[in-house]
A and B are shown apart, each in its own frame.
Chain A
Amino acid sequence: MEYFQTKVINHYQVGKGIFVMELVANGSRCRAGQFFMLKTADASRPLMRPISIYQATDNSVSFMYRISGQGTEELSHLKNNDTIFILGPLGNGFPCEKVSGRIALIGGGIGIAPLWFTAETLLKNTENEVDVYLGYRDELFALDHFVILDTDFFIATEYGDEGYHGLITDLFEPDHYDAVFACGPEPMMKAVFTMCKEVRTPLWISAERRMACGVGACLGCAFPTLNGVKRVCKDGPVFADKELCWES
Protein backbone atom coordinates (compact mmCIF):
# COMPACT_ATOMS: atom_id res chain seq x y z
CA MET A 1 0.00 0.00 0.00
CA GLU A 2 0.99 3.58 -0.60
CA TYR A 3 -0.49 6.97 0.23
CA PHE A 4 -0.01 9.44 -2.57
CA GLN A 5 -1.45 12.30 -4.54
CA THR A 6 -2.58 11.51 -8.05
CA LYS A 7 -4.62 12.87 -10.91
CA VAL A 8 -8.01 12.20 -12.45
CA ILE A 9 -7.67 11.14 -16.09
CA ASN A 10 -11.25 10.17 -16.85
CA HIS A 11 -14.47 10.63 -14.92
CA TYR A 12 -17.94 9.98 -16.22
CA GLN A 13 -21.43 9.02 -15.18
CA VAL A 14 -22.65 5.52 -16.03
CA GLY A 15 -26.02 5.56 -14.33
CA LYS A 16 -28.25 7.43 -11.92
CA GLY A 17 -25.78 8.63 -9.26
CA ILE A 18 -23.17 6.10 -10.47
CA PHE A 19 -19.76 7.26 -11.69
CA VAL A 20 -16.53 5.75 -12.99
CA MET A 21 -13.37 7.65 -12.06
CA GLU A 22 -10.00 6.69 -13.52
CA LEU A 23 -6.84 7.81 -11.73
CA VAL A 24 -3.14 7.68 -12.57
CA ALA A 25 -1.67 4.83 -10.52
CA ASN A 26 0.30 1.66 -10.98
CA GLY A 27 -2.49 -0.89 -11.03
CA SER A 28 -0.20 -3.84 -11.65
CA ARG A 29 0.03 -4.65 -7.95
CA CYS A 30 -3.74 -4.53 -7.42
CA ARG A 31 -5.67 -7.72 -6.86
CA ALA A 32 -9.32 -8.12 -7.80
CA GLY A 33 -11.57 -7.34 -4.85
CA GLN A 34 -9.12 -4.96 -3.18
CA PHE A 35 -9.97 -1.31 -2.54
CA PHE A 36 -8.49 2.13 -2.02
CA MET A 37 -9.30 4.89 0.45
CA LEU A 38 -10.09 8.10 -1.47
CA LYS A 39 -9.65 11.42 0.28
CA THR A 40 -12.03 14.28 -0.22
CA ALA A 41 -10.55 17.79 -0.41
CA ASP A 42 -13.01 19.30 2.06
CA ALA A 43 -11.23 19.25 5.43
CA SER A 44 -14.56 19.19 7.27
CA ARG A 45 -14.80 15.54 6.15
CA PRO A 46 -11.97 13.81 8.00
CA LEU A 47 -12.61 10.27 6.80
CA MET A 48 -11.42 8.90 3.47
CA ARG A 49 -13.93 6.84 1.47
CA PRO A 50 -13.28 3.14 0.84
CA ILE A 51 -14.00 2.37 -2.83
CA SER A 52 -13.36 -0.97 -4.51
CA ILE A 53 -11.20 -1.31 -7.60
CA TYR A 54 -13.27 -1.47 -10.79
CA GLN A 55 -10.47 -1.82 -13.33
CA ALA A 56 -6.69 -1.71 -13.07
CA THR A 57 -3.90 -1.43 -15.65
CA ASP A 58 -0.17 -0.77 -15.44
CA ASN A 59 -0.79 2.97 -15.38
CA SER A 60 -4.30 3.52 -14.12
CA VAL A 61 -6.79 2.38 -11.54
CA SER A 62 -10.49 3.11 -11.90
CA PHE A 63 -13.30 3.10 -9.40
CA MET A 64 -17.02 2.74 -9.91
CA TYR A 65 -18.98 4.30 -7.06
CA ARG A 66 -22.46 5.43 -6.16
CA ILE A 67 -23.16 8.77 -4.54
CA SER A 68 -24.34 7.76 -1.10
CA GLY A 69 -23.49 10.83 0.96
CA GLN A 70 -21.61 14.11 1.01
CA GLY A 71 -18.18 12.52 0.54
CA THR A 72 -19.01 10.61 -2.63
CA GLU A 73 -21.03 13.63 -3.81
CA GLU A 74 -17.86 15.72 -3.51
CA LEU A 75 -15.84 13.07 -5.37
CA SER A 76 -18.35 13.17 -8.22
CA HIS A 77 -17.43 16.82 -8.92
CA LEU A 78 -13.76 16.06 -9.65
CA LYS A 79 -12.71 16.90 -13.21
CA ASN A 80 -9.91 15.63 -15.42
CA ASN A 81 -6.48 16.76 -14.11
CA ASP A 82 -7.88 17.46 -10.64
CA THR A 83 -5.74 15.95 -7.91
CA ILE A 84 -6.75 13.53 -5.17
CA PHE A 85 -4.94 11.66 -2.39
CA ILE A 86 -5.43 7.91 -2.26
CA LEU A 87 -4.31 5.10 0.03
CA GLY A 88 -4.02 1.55 -1.27
CA PRO A 89 -4.36 -1.02 -2.58
CA LEU A 90 -5.92 -2.36 0.62
CA GLY A 91 -7.51 -5.58 1.81
CA ASN A 92 -7.17 -9.19 0.70
CA GLY A 93 -9.22 -9.38 -2.52
CA PHE A 94 -10.92 -12.42 -4.04
CA PRO A 95 -8.83 -15.63 -4.07
CA CYS A 96 -8.75 -15.81 -7.89
CA GLU A 97 -5.65 -18.02 -7.93
CA LYS A 98 -7.21 -20.54 -5.52
CA VAL A 99 -10.27 -21.37 -7.61
CA SER A 100 -10.64 -22.99 -11.03
CA GLY A 101 -13.26 -24.47 -13.30
CA ARG A 102 -16.70 -22.95 -13.59
CA ILE A 103 -17.01 -19.82 -11.46
CA ALA A 104 -20.00 -17.58 -10.79
CA LEU A 105 -19.67 -13.90 -9.90
CA ILE A 106 -22.78 -12.40 -8.36
CA GLY A 107 -23.18 -8.68 -7.81
CA GLY A 108 -26.05 -6.59 -6.54
CA GLY A 109 -26.32 -2.83 -7.08
CA ILE A 110 -23.02 -1.00 -6.71
CA GLY A 111 -21.65 -4.35 -5.48
CA ILE A 112 -21.05 -5.23 -9.14
CA ALA A 113 -18.08 -2.82 -9.06
CA PRO A 114 -15.30 -5.30 -8.13
CA LEU A 115 -16.62 -8.03 -10.45
CA TRP A 116 -15.26 -6.65 -13.73
CA PHE A 117 -11.64 -6.88 -12.57
CA THR A 118 -12.39 -10.19 -10.87
CA ALA A 119 -13.79 -11.68 -14.09
CA GLU A 120 -10.85 -10.35 -16.08
CA THR A 121 -8.40 -11.87 -13.60
CA LEU A 122 -10.16 -15.26 -13.58
CA LEU A 123 -10.28 -15.37 -17.38
CA LYS A 124 -6.48 -15.15 -17.54
CA ASN A 125 -6.60 -18.82 -16.64
CA THR A 126 -7.98 -20.20 -19.92
CA GLU A 127 -9.33 -23.29 -18.13
CA ASN A 128 -11.79 -21.10 -16.23
CA GLU A 129 -15.33 -20.49 -17.37
CA VAL A 130 -16.97 -17.47 -15.74
CA ASP A 131 -20.64 -16.57 -15.43
CA VAL A 132 -21.54 -13.07 -14.27
CA TYR A 133 -24.81 -12.34 -12.48
CA LEU A 134 -25.73 -8.67 -12.24
CA GLY A 135 -28.64 -7.68 -10.06
CA TYR A 136 -30.01 -4.16 -10.36
CA ARG A 137 -32.72 -2.30 -8.52
CA ASP A 138 -34.29 -0.61 -11.54
CA GLU A 139 -31.91 0.94 -14.07
CA LEU A 140 -29.00 -1.00 -15.64
CA PHE A 141 -25.53 0.54 -15.49
CA ALA A 142 -22.06 -0.32 -16.79
CA LEU A 143 -23.44 -3.30 -18.69
CA ASP A 144 -21.66 -2.09 -21.83
CA HIS A 145 -18.36 -2.45 -19.93
CA PHE A 146 -19.14 -5.91 -18.72
CA VAL A 147 -20.25 -7.34 -22.07
CA ILE A 148 -16.75 -7.03 -23.53
CA LEU A 149 -15.72 -9.79 -21.11
CA ASP A 150 -15.81 -13.33 -22.43
CA THR A 151 -18.39 -14.51 -19.93
CA ASP A 152 -22.04 -15.49 -19.88
CA PHE A 153 -24.39 -12.94 -18.32
CA PHE A 154 -27.49 -13.10 -16.21
CA ILE A 155 -29.31 -9.84 -15.62
CA ALA A 156 -32.15 -9.10 -13.22
CA THR A 157 -33.91 -5.90 -12.23
CA GLU A 158 -35.98 -5.88 -9.08
CA TYR A 159 -38.25 -3.00 -10.06
CA GLY A 160 -37.17 -2.35 -13.66
CA ASP A 161 -38.14 -3.62 -17.08
CA GLU A 162 -34.86 -5.09 -18.27
CA GLY A 163 -33.64 -8.64 -17.89
CA TYR A 164 -35.37 -10.98 -15.50
CA HIS A 165 -37.93 -9.20 -13.35
CA GLY A 166 -37.05 -10.11 -9.77
CA LEU A 167 -34.03 -10.94 -7.66
CA ILE A 168 -30.75 -12.00 -9.22
CA THR A 169 -30.66 -14.95 -6.83
CA ASP A 170 -33.77 -16.35 -8.57
CA LEU A 171 -31.58 -17.01 -11.64
CA PHE A 172 -28.68 -18.52 -9.73
CA GLU A 173 -28.11 -22.26 -9.67
CA PRO A 174 -25.23 -22.90 -7.29
CA ASP A 175 -24.75 -26.58 -8.14
CA HIS A 176 -23.47 -25.57 -11.59
CA TYR A 177 -20.31 -24.03 -10.16
CA ASP A 178 -16.95 -24.93 -8.65
CA ALA A 179 -16.76 -21.60 -6.83
CA VAL A 180 -18.86 -18.48 -6.28
CA PHE A 181 -17.81 -14.88 -5.48
CA ALA A 182 -20.50 -12.44 -4.32
CA CYS A 183 -20.61 -8.72 -3.58
CA GLY A 184 -23.70 -6.70 -2.85
CA PRO A 185 -26.35 -5.99 -0.23
CA GLU A 186 -26.10 -8.31 2.77
CA PRO A 187 -29.57 -9.88 2.23
CA MET A 188 -28.48 -10.88 -1.29
CA MET A 189 -25.19 -12.32 -0.04
CA LYS A 190 -26.95 -14.18 2.76
CA ALA A 191 -29.35 -15.75 0.22
CA VAL A 192 -26.39 -16.80 -1.92
CA PHE A 193 -24.69 -18.19 1.21
CA THR A 194 -27.70 -20.37 2.05
CA MET A 195 -28.04 -21.59 -1.56
CA CYS A 196 -24.34 -22.46 -1.88
CA LYS A 197 -24.25 -24.17 1.48
CA GLU A 198 -27.07 -26.56 0.52
CA VAL A 199 -25.08 -27.91 -2.43
CA ARG A 200 -21.64 -27.38 -0.86
CA THR A 201 -20.42 -24.95 -3.48
CA PRO A 202 -17.52 -22.89 -2.05
CA LEU A 203 -18.40 -19.20 -1.69
CA TRP A 204 -16.48 -16.03 -0.93
CA ILE A 205 -18.28 -12.77 -0.18
CA SER A 206 -17.03 -9.19 -0.07
CA ALA A 207 -18.27 -7.33 3.00
CA GLU A 208 -18.84 -3.60 3.37
CA ARG A 209 -18.53 -1.49 6.51
CA ARG A 210 -17.92 2.14 7.43
CA MET A 211 -14.18 2.58 7.80
CA ALA A 212 -11.80 5.12 9.26
CA CYS A 213 -8.14 4.07 8.93
CA GLY A 214 -8.37 1.49 6.13
CA VAL A 215 -5.25 -0.32 7.36
CA GLY A 216 -6.54 -2.40 10.28
CA ALA A 217 -5.54 -0.12 13.14
CA CYS A 218 -8.75 1.51 14.38
CA LEU A 219 -11.14 -1.51 14.50
CA GLY A 220 -13.97 0.65 13.15
CA CYS A 221 -15.02 -1.85 10.45
CA ALA A 222 -15.59 -4.88 12.68
CA PHE A 223 -17.15 -7.97 11.07
CA PRO A 224 -18.11 -10.84 13.39
CA THR A 225 -17.05 -14.25 12.05
CA LEU A 226 -16.85 -17.77 13.40
CA ASN A 227 -13.15 -17.06 13.98
CA GLY A 228 -13.80 -13.94 16.04
CA VAL A 229 -14.28 -10.28 15.17
CA LYS A 230 -12.41 -9.49 11.94
CA ARG A 231 -11.51 -6.20 10.27
CA VAL A 232 -13.16 -5.70 6.86
CA CYS A 233 -10.32 -3.39 5.76
CA LYS A 234 -7.44 -5.68 6.64
CA ASP A 235 -8.67 -9.27 7.16
CA GLY A 236 -11.30 -8.75 4.43
CA PRO A 237 -13.15 -7.37 2.62
CA VAL A 238 -13.40 -10.91 1.24
CA PHE A 239 -14.41 -13.68 3.64
CA ALA A 240 -14.83 -17.39 2.95
CA ASP A 241 -18.16 -19.15 3.58
CA LYS A 242 -16.65 -21.24 6.39
CA GLU A 243 -15.94 -18.07 8.40
CA LEU A 244 -19.42 -16.55 8.09
CA CYS A 245 -21.83 -16.65 11.01
CA TRP A 246 -24.90 -16.21 8.84
CA GLU A 247 -26.79 -19.33 9.88
CA SER A 248 -30.51 -18.73 9.53
Chain B
Amino acid sequence: MLETTLCGIPFKNPLIAASGVFGFGAEYGELYDVSIWGGLCTKGLTLQPKSGNSGYRIYETASGVMNSIGLQNPGVEAFVNTELPRMKKLNTRIIANLGGHSTDDYLLGIEKLDRTDVDMIELNISCPNVKSGGMAFGLQAKSAGEIVGLCRERCHKPFMVKLSPNAENIVDVALACENAGADALSLVNTFQAMAIDVKKRKPVFENTYAGLSGAAIKPLALRMVHAVCQKVSIPVVGIGGIRTAEDVIEFMMAGATAVQIGAALFSNPLLPIQMIDGLQQLMEQEKISDLSEIRGIIK
Protein backbone atom coordinates (compact mmCIF):
# COMPACT_ATOMS: atom_id res chain seq x y z
CA MET B 1 0.00 0.00 0.00
CA LEU B 2 2.82 2.39 0.91
CA GLU B 3 5.50 1.06 -1.44
CA THR B 4 7.14 3.87 -3.33
CA THR B 5 9.70 3.92 -6.12
CA LEU B 6 12.18 6.77 -6.18
CA CYS B 7 14.68 6.97 -9.04
CA GLY B 8 14.06 3.31 -9.80
CA ILE B 9 14.76 2.23 -6.22
CA PRO B 10 11.94 0.56 -4.32
CA PHE B 11 11.23 2.07 -0.86
CA LYS B 12 8.95 0.13 1.50
CA ASN B 13 7.21 3.40 2.35
CA PRO B 14 7.61 7.06 1.42
CA LEU B 15 8.92 8.15 4.82
CA ILE B 16 12.57 9.16 4.92
CA ALA B 17 14.39 10.55 7.97
CA ALA B 18 15.75 13.95 6.98
CA SER B 19 19.45 14.68 7.12
CA GLY B 20 20.62 16.01 10.46
CA VAL B 21 17.90 14.76 12.79
CA PHE B 22 18.87 11.11 12.68
CA GLY B 23 22.67 10.98 12.97
CA PHE B 24 23.72 7.77 11.24
CA GLY B 25 20.74 5.78 12.45
CA ALA B 26 22.24 4.29 15.61
CA GLU B 27 20.82 6.55 18.31
CA TYR B 28 17.10 5.98 17.76
CA GLY B 29 17.84 2.27 17.33
CA GLU B 30 17.76 2.04 21.13
CA LEU B 31 14.10 3.08 21.02
CA TYR B 32 12.69 1.11 18.07
CA ASP B 33 13.74 -0.80 14.97
CA VAL B 34 14.70 2.04 12.63
CA SER B 35 14.32 -0.29 9.62
CA ILE B 36 10.67 0.74 9.75
CA TRP B 37 11.68 3.86 7.78
CA GLY B 38 11.50 3.84 4.01
CA GLY B 39 14.93 5.45 4.02
CA LEU B 40 17.44 7.34 6.15
CA CYS B 41 19.41 10.40 5.10
CA THR B 42 22.77 10.60 6.84
CA LYS B 43 23.92 13.63 8.79
CA GLY B 44 25.33 16.09 6.25
CA LEU B 45 28.81 14.90 5.28
CA THR B 46 31.77 16.97 4.17
CA LEU B 47 35.05 15.84 2.67
CA GLN B 48 36.96 16.79 5.82
CA PRO B 49 35.64 16.29 9.37
CA LYS B 50 33.91 19.35 10.84
CA SER B 51 33.43 20.24 14.50
CA GLY B 52 30.43 22.47 13.80
CA ASN B 53 29.41 25.83 15.21
CA SER B 54 30.00 27.23 18.70
CA GLY B 55 27.40 29.02 20.78
CA TYR B 56 23.77 28.06 20.81
CA ARG B 57 22.88 25.47 18.20
CA ILE B 58 19.19 24.92 18.88
CA TYR B 59 16.42 27.38 19.67
CA GLU B 60 12.67 26.90 19.85
CA THR B 61 10.28 29.37 18.25
CA ALA B 62 6.48 29.21 17.95
CA SER B 63 5.82 25.89 16.17
CA GLY B 64 9.37 25.93 14.90
CA VAL B 65 12.91 24.89 15.66
CA MET B 66 15.92 26.97 14.66
CA ASN B 67 19.26 25.25 14.32
CA SER B 68 22.82 26.24 13.64
CA ILE B 69 24.71 22.96 13.97
CA GLY B 70 27.21 23.88 11.26
CA LEU B 71 27.54 20.48 9.57
CA GLN B 72 29.40 18.78 12.44
CA ASN B 73 30.36 15.41 10.97
CA PRO B 74 33.24 12.92 10.95
CA GLY B 75 34.05 13.44 7.24
CA VAL B 76 33.30 11.24 4.25
CA GLU B 77 36.18 8.82 4.89
CA ALA B 78 35.18 8.07 8.50
CA PHE B 79 31.56 7.74 7.43
CA VAL B 80 32.46 5.18 4.78
CA ASN B 81 34.73 3.18 7.12
CA THR B 82 32.79 3.35 10.38
CA GLU B 83 29.18 4.43 10.02
CA LEU B 84 28.15 3.02 6.66
CA PRO B 85 28.87 -0.66 7.47
CA ARG B 86 26.58 -0.28 10.50
CA MET B 87 23.91 1.50 8.48
CA LYS B 88 23.96 -1.12 5.73
CA LYS B 89 22.91 -3.74 8.29
CA LEU B 90 19.60 -1.91 8.60
CA ASN B 91 16.80 -3.00 6.32
CA THR B 92 16.14 0.45 4.86
CA ARG B 93 17.49 2.65 2.08
CA ILE B 94 20.59 4.68 2.92
CA ILE B 95 20.91 8.12 1.39
CA ALA B 96 24.26 9.86 1.90
CA ASN B 97 23.85 13.62 2.26
CA LEU B 98 26.90 15.50 0.98
CA GLY B 99 27.69 19.15 1.62
CA GLY B 100 30.76 21.18 0.77
CA HIS B 101 32.58 24.48 0.95
CA SER B 102 34.04 24.44 -2.54
CA THR B 103 33.54 22.74 -5.89
CA ASP B 104 36.51 20.47 -5.17
CA ASP B 105 34.98 19.43 -1.83
CA TYR B 106 31.84 18.32 -3.59
CA LEU B 107 33.61 16.54 -6.43
CA LEU B 108 36.09 14.62 -4.25
CA GLY B 109 33.30 13.80 -1.80
CA ILE B 110 30.98 12.50 -4.45
CA GLU B 111 33.70 10.38 -6.05
CA LYS B 112 34.32 8.69 -2.70
CA LEU B 113 30.62 8.13 -2.00
CA ASP B 114 30.04 6.84 -5.52
CA ARG B 115 32.36 3.91 -4.78
CA THR B 116 30.38 2.83 -1.69
CA ASP B 117 27.15 0.90 -1.41
CA VAL B 118 24.93 3.78 -0.33
CA ASP B 119 21.63 3.54 -2.21
CA MET B 120 21.47 7.15 -3.19
CA ILE B 121 23.28 10.48 -2.81
CA GLU B 122 21.58 13.69 -1.74
CA LEU B 123 23.61 16.74 -2.70
CA ASN B 124 23.17 19.47 -0.11
CA ILE B 125 23.53 22.86 -1.80
CA SER B 126 21.29 24.47 0.77
CA CYS B 127 22.88 24.45 4.26
CA PRO B 128 22.40 27.95 5.70
CA ASN B 129 24.75 27.41 8.65
CA VAL B 130 28.24 27.31 7.18
CA LYS B 131 30.23 30.41 6.35
CA SER B 132 31.49 29.44 2.93
CA GLY B 133 29.92 27.31 0.24
CA GLY B 134 26.88 25.43 1.45
CA MET B 135 23.78 27.37 0.56
CA ALA B 136 25.66 29.76 -1.73
CA PHE B 137 25.67 27.09 -4.46
CA GLY B 138 21.92 26.72 -4.26
CA LEU B 139 20.72 30.30 -4.32
CA GLN B 140 20.91 30.88 -8.05
CA ALA B 141 20.05 28.68 -11.01
CA LYS B 142 23.41 29.17 -12.72
CA SER B 143 25.64 28.15 -9.78
CA ALA B 144 23.30 25.29 -8.85
CA GLY B 145 23.28 23.95 -12.41
CA GLU B 146 27.08 24.13 -12.62
CA ILE B 147 27.80 22.20 -9.43
CA VAL B 148 25.08 19.66 -10.14
CA GLY B 149 26.41 19.09 -13.67
CA LEU B 150 29.95 18.50 -12.39
CA CYS B 151 28.76 16.13 -9.67
CA ARG B 152 26.52 14.29 -12.11
CA GLU B 153 29.51 13.42 -14.31
CA ARG B 154 31.17 11.74 -11.35
CA CYS B 155 28.14 10.05 -9.86
CA HIS B 156 26.76 6.74 -11.10
CA LYS B 157 24.24 6.38 -8.33
CA PRO B 158 20.77 7.86 -8.15
CA PHE B 159 21.44 11.45 -7.35
CA MET B 160 19.08 13.87 -5.62
CA VAL B 161 19.65 17.58 -5.00
CA LYS B 162 18.38 19.23 -1.81
CA LEU B 163 17.16 22.74 -2.54
CA SER B 164 17.11 25.85 -0.42
CA PRO B 165 13.92 27.83 0.12
CA ASN B 166 16.19 30.87 0.34
CA ALA B 167 16.92 30.66 -3.40
CA GLU B 168 16.14 33.69 -5.53
CA ASN B 169 13.64 31.55 -7.41
CA ILE B 170 13.37 27.95 -6.33
CA VAL B 171 11.59 26.87 -9.53
CA ASP B 172 14.47 28.21 -11.65
CA VAL B 173 16.99 26.42 -9.43
CA ALA B 174 14.94 23.22 -9.68
CA LEU B 175 14.86 23.42 -13.49
CA ALA B 176 18.60 24.09 -13.62
CA CYS B 177 19.27 21.01 -11.48
CA GLU B 178 17.00 18.89 -13.65
CA ASN B 179 18.71 20.12 -16.81
CA ALA B 180 22.12 19.42 -15.27
CA GLY B 181 21.18 15.79 -14.73
CA ALA B 182 19.72 15.48 -11.24
CA ASP B 183 17.61 12.32 -10.85
CA ALA B 184 15.43 13.82 -8.12
CA LEU B 185 15.00 16.93 -6.00
CA SER B 186 14.35 17.23 -2.29
CA LEU B 187 12.87 20.42 -0.89
CA VAL B 188 13.00 22.39 1.22
CA ASN B 189 16.01 22.76 3.50
CA THR B 190 15.59 25.24 6.37
CA PHE B 191 14.56 28.86 5.95
CA GLN B 192 17.20 31.36 6.96
CA ALA B 193 15.83 33.01 10.07
CA MET B 194 16.78 35.03 13.12
CA ALA B 195 16.16 35.29 16.85
CA ILE B 196 17.39 37.98 19.24
CA ASP B 197 18.13 37.66 22.95
CA VAL B 198 16.55 40.85 24.27
CA LYS B 199 18.36 40.77 27.63
CA LYS B 200 21.78 40.33 26.04
CA ARG B 201 20.84 42.61 23.11
CA LYS B 202 22.50 40.10 20.81
CA PRO B 203 21.40 37.56 18.22
CA VAL B 204 20.74 34.15 19.81
CA PHE B 205 23.07 32.51 17.28
CA GLU B 206 26.75 33.34 16.83
CA ASN B 207 26.23 33.30 13.05
CA THR B 208 23.36 35.79 13.53
CA TYR B 209 21.11 33.79 11.20
CA ALA B 210 20.11 30.15 11.56
CA GLY B 211 17.83 27.67 9.79
CA LEU B 212 14.13 27.45 10.68
CA SER B 213 12.26 24.15 10.40
CA GLY B 214 9.19 22.59 11.98
CA ALA B 215 5.44 23.00 11.57
CA ALA B 216 5.84 26.77 11.14
CA ILE B 217 7.32 26.30 7.65
CA LYS B 218 4.95 23.59 6.37
CA PRO B 219 2.61 25.77 4.31
CA LEU B 220 5.60 27.58 2.78
CA ALA B 221 7.35 24.32 1.94
CA LEU B 222 4.15 22.88 0.48
CA ARG B 223 3.76 25.87 -1.81
CA MET B 224 7.34 25.47 -3.04
CA VAL B 225 6.96 21.72 -3.60
CA HIS B 226 3.77 22.38 -5.56
CA ALA B 227 5.38 25.13 -7.64
CA VAL B 228 8.41 22.97 -8.47
CA CYS B 229 6.27 19.92 -9.29
CA GLN B 230 4.37 21.99 -11.86
CA LYS B 231 7.58 22.55 -13.81
CA VAL B 232 9.93 19.58 -13.42
CA SER B 233 9.44 16.01 -14.57
CA ILE B 234 11.90 14.35 -12.15
CA PRO B 235 10.60 13.09 -8.78
CA VAL B 236 10.39 15.51 -5.87
CA VAL B 237 10.80 14.56 -2.21
CA GLY B 238 8.82 16.93 0.00
CA ILE B 239 10.35 18.29 3.21
CA GLY B 240 9.20 20.93 5.65
CA GLY B 241 7.31 20.66 8.92
CA ILE B 242 5.66 17.32 8.16
CA ARG B 243 4.29 15.77 11.36
CA THR B 244 1.01 14.00 10.55
CA ALA B 245 -0.23 11.45 8.00
CA GLU B 246 -2.40 14.22 6.57
CA ASP B 247 0.68 16.37 6.03
CA VAL B 248 2.25 13.51 4.05
CA ILE B 249 -0.83 13.21 1.83
CA GLU B 250 -0.87 16.97 1.29
CA PHE B 251 2.71 16.88 -0.01
CA MET B 252 1.84 13.92 -2.24
CA MET B 253 -1.19 15.72 -3.65
CA ALA B 254 1.10 18.68 -4.35
CA GLY B 255 3.26 16.30 -6.37
CA ALA B 256 5.83 14.77 -4.02
CA THR B 257 6.89 11.16 -4.57
CA ALA B 258 8.17 10.71 -1.00
CA VAL B 259 8.70 12.89 2.05
CA GLN B 260 11.37 13.55 4.63
CA ILE B 261 10.63 14.00 8.33
CA GLY B 262 12.85 16.23 10.44
CA ALA B 263 12.01 18.43 13.40
CA ALA B 264 8.79 16.53 14.18
CA LEU B 265 10.94 13.73 15.63
CA PHE B 266 11.94 16.08 18.43
CA SER B 267 8.31 16.22 19.62
CA ASN B 268 7.67 12.53 19.13
CA PRO B 269 10.57 10.14 18.65
CA LEU B 270 8.18 7.29 17.78
CA LEU B 271 6.54 9.33 15.03
CA PRO B 272 7.44 7.05 12.07
CA ILE B 273 5.66 4.08 13.66
CA GLN B 274 2.52 6.13 14.28
CA MET B 275 2.73 7.82 10.90
CA ILE B 276 2.84 4.54 8.99
CA ASP B 277 -0.30 3.37 10.84
CA GLY B 278 -1.88 6.79 10.36
CA LEU B 279 -1.15 6.79 6.63
CA GLN B 280 -2.74 3.38 6.15
CA GLN B 281 -5.84 4.45 8.09
CA LEU B 282 -6.15 7.72 6.23
CA MET B 283 -5.76 5.98 2.88
CA GLU B 284 -8.51 3.51 3.78
CA GLN B 285 -10.80 6.33 4.90
CA GLU B 286 -10.13 8.31 1.74
CA LYS B 287 -10.33 5.18 -0.43
CA ILE B 288 -6.80 5.56 -1.73
CA SER B 289 -5.33 2.15 -2.58
CA ASP B 290 -2.01 3.39 -3.90
CA LEU B 291 -0.21 6.68 -3.35
CA SER B 292 0.19 7.08 -7.12
CA GLU B 293 -3.56 7.73 -7.33
CA ILE B 294 -3.23 11.03 -5.54
CA ARG B 295 0.28 12.10 -6.50
CA GLY B 296 0.21 15.53 -8.06
CA ILE B 297 -3.58 15.75 -8.33
CA ILE B 298 -3.45 19.41 -7.35
CA LYS B 299 -2.53 21.30 -10.49
Contact = CB atoms under 8 A, between A and B. Distances in A.
A220 B67 contact: yes
A111 B215 CA distance: 33
B31 A219 contact: no
A211 B267 CA distance: 12
A215 B269 contact: yes
Contact of A46 (B22, B53, B64, B72): B64
Q: Is the interface of A mostly helix, strand, loop or mixed?
A: loop
Among A48, A87, A219, find the residue whose CB has the most chain B CB atoms closer than 10 A: A219
Given A2-B31, A215-B28, A218-B20, A46 B264 contact: yes
Among A46, A85, A221, find the residue whose CB has the most chain B CB atoms closer than 10 A: A46
B59 interface: yes
Interface residues of B, number: 35
B267 A47 contact: yes
A67 B114 CA distance: 50
Nearest to A71: B60
A210 B270 contact: no
B64 A210 contact: no
Contacts of A85: 268
B52 A229 contact: yes
Contacts of A84: none
Contacts of A45: 60
A212 B58 contact: yes
Contacts of A222: 52-54, 57, 69, 72
Given A46-B63, A47-B266, A213-B269, A219 B56 contact: no
Among B28, B51, B268, B269, find the residue whose CB has the most chain A CB atoms closer than 10 A: B269
Contact of A48 (B22, B64, B267): B267
A160 to B, nearest CB: 23
B265 interface: yes
Interface residues of A, number: 29
A228 B31 contact: no
Contacts of A229: 51-52, 72
Interface in A191-220: 210-213, 215-220
B197 interface: no
Nearest to A47: B60
A44 B65 CA distance: 10
Given A48-B267, A218-B266, A219-B69, 19 more contacts: A3-B270, A43-B267, A46-B60, A46-B263, A46-B267, A47-B60, A47-B267, A85-B268, A210-B56, A210-B57, A210-B58, A212-B58, A213-B21, A215-B28, A215-B31, A217-B21, A217-B27, A222-B52, A222-B72
